[in-house]
Amino acid sequence: MPTLDEIAKLSGYSKATVSRVLNQSPHVSPETREKILAIMKEKDYVPNRNAISLSKGQTQQIGMITMDLSELILRFMNSFVELSGRNGFQTIIYTTGGDQQKELQAFEDLKRKRVDALLILTSVNDTNIIASYCKYGPIVSWQRMDHPEIPSVAMNQYDGYALALEHLIERGYTRIANAFGRPGSINTRSRRLAYEHIMSKHSLPAAEKWYYSSIYSIRDGERVVQSLVEGTDRPDAILCANDLVAAGVLSEARRQRLDVPRGLAIVGFDDSELSRTLGITTVRNPIAGQAENAFLLLAPALLGRNPQLQPLSFSLVKRETT
């Protein structure tokens, strides 16, 4: 394949002129442009995209950082990838497995201009370290970061959790277990806070003995039920970290012949297809809306536009498990 140098020589124009044609600069006469393009076509010249990126200073790539590829992350990514694709951006996914060094690689790539922007889905590095990279390009986050320089599209899980809890209490459930996700995460802290506030508001005791944490999957949900039935003192409801956990809780409760919802109520979180088909009461989490807002937050830096974010809220979806 010929190089840009050779195209310049063959056409009799300078490299700078050939480069202007490649970059669709208006400062080239139509005749010159046509002559150069004809030679490129004849010689099957393919511009090297890295060279183009270099000259434009943009890679048209957005990096996404995630600990893992879970079902929820997938829903978020689907919306984000679709919207950024429509705007001409490709997505690189950095899966970190929760490793701080691997995750920093993504931030180093922002610094080195390998990506134009970063979207954090889940991060394990200190927010101050992350914020120190903001000077190299825009960084937005799905996860709540609680740092002024890193805007987040996260919704306050307190609100969604409170909806679920008020619903359970209204139905007469008082002995409520919690299957939390990542211990110490902002989401888990918000949910726990909601639980403690709402219980206290109704003069009900918060039952720490039924706090489960690091509960993510179907199998984790099954294990929670197995552990509960071993005890004599049992809750009458379980609030689950997500719908997968709720599906596991429901399946195992059926296997253990627990009476759902009378003996045990189950509430999921997210409103996935799975919760719908299994008839699980859940909290609708507007994931696609959050993904779109994440892209809109990057739009000023990437597209020079400043669109309005859409307002989003949680809602309760009442089904057969409560």
Binding residues for a second copy, per CB under 8 A? 46-51, 53-54, 59, 61, 68-69, 71, 74, 77-78, 81-82, 85, 90-95, 97, 102, 109, 111-114, 217-219, 222, 244, 247-248, 251-252, 273-274, 276-279
Place of tokens 């202007």: 20
Q: How far apart are CA 133 and CA 109, in angstroms?
A: 10
* Residue with Cβ nearer a second copy (27 or 112): 112
* Residue with Cβ nearer a second copy (74 or 202): 74
Place of tokens 């309005």: 308
Residue 15 beta carbon to a second copy: minimum distance, rounded to whole angstroms:
15
| CA 311 to each of CA 17, 53, 204, 271: distance values in angstroms, whole numbers, following the listed order | 48, 35, 33, 18
Please name the helix (run of DSSP H) or strand (run of DSSP E) that holds residue 302, with its range, or none: helix 287-303
Residue 200 beta carbon to a second copy: minimum distance, rounded to whole angstroms:
35
Residue 98 beta carbon to a second copy: minimum distance, rounded to whole angstroms:
12
| CA 97 to each of CA 65, 102, 103, 122, 124: distance values in angstroms, whole numbers, following the listed order | 10, 8, 9, 10, 10
* Residue with Cβ nearer a second copy (24 or 50): 50
Residue 205 beta carbon to a second copy: minimum distance, rounded to whole angstroms:
32
Residue 133 beta carbon to a second copy: minimum distance, rounded to whole angstroms:
11
- Neighbouring CB atoms inside 10 A of 235's CB total 19
CA angle 207, 211, 215 (to 5 degrees): 155
Strand bridging mode 315-317 / 282-284: antiparallel
Residue 297 beta carbon to a second copy: minimum distance, rounded to whole angstroms:
21
Closest CA to 269 of 180, 208, 186, 197: 180
Q: What are phi and psi of 170, to 5 degrees?
A: -60, -35
Residue 249 beta carbon to a second copy: minimum distance, rounded to whole angstroms:
10
Q: How far apart are CA 114 and CA 99, in angstroms?
A: 20
